[in-house]
């Protein structure tokens, strides 16, 4: 099972860009989230834009 999973994960290396529409609480900030995502192994950077601010949440786009 572990070999099968590792074999499947190698196919993910061909992904160049992923875009996520994320509803998040106000904290942590989008800057903090971008720093964590950008620091992950295999990630060269992250762009996060704030789309809408609600009472309890922020609607963001993560690229």
Give domain status of residue 3, yes or no: no
Tell me: the pLDDT tens digits for 11-26? Answer: 656 778 889 999 999 9
CATH number at residue 23: 3.30.70.1340
> Could you tell me if residue 42 is left (phi over 0), alpha (psi between -120 and 50 degrees) or otherwise beta?
left
Q: What residue numbers bound the domain in which 25 lies?
A: 17-62
- Bridge partners, residue 48, by sequence: 62
Report the pLDDT value the prediction gives residue 32, as an integer from 0 to 100. 93
Count of domains in the chain?
1
Give domain status of residue 4, yes or no: no
Give domain status of residue 5, yes or no: no
**pTM to 2 decimal places:** 0.66
Using CA atoms, how far residue 45 sits from 3, 41, 51, 63, in Å, is: 29, 10, 19, 9
Give domain status of residue 40, yes or no: yes
Report the pLDDT value the prediction gives residue 52, as an integer from 0 to 100. 93
Give domain status of residue 6, yes or no: no
Distance from CA of residue 28 to its chain's centroid?
Answer: 14
């Amino acid at each position: 099972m572990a070999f099968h999973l590792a074999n499947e994960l190698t196919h993910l290396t061909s992904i160049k860009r992923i875009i996520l529409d994320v509803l998040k609480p106000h904290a942590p900030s989008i800057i903090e989230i971008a720093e964590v995502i950008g620091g992950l192994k295999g990630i060269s950077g992250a762009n996060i834009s704030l789309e809408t601010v609600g009472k309890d949440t922020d609607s963001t786009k993560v690229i």
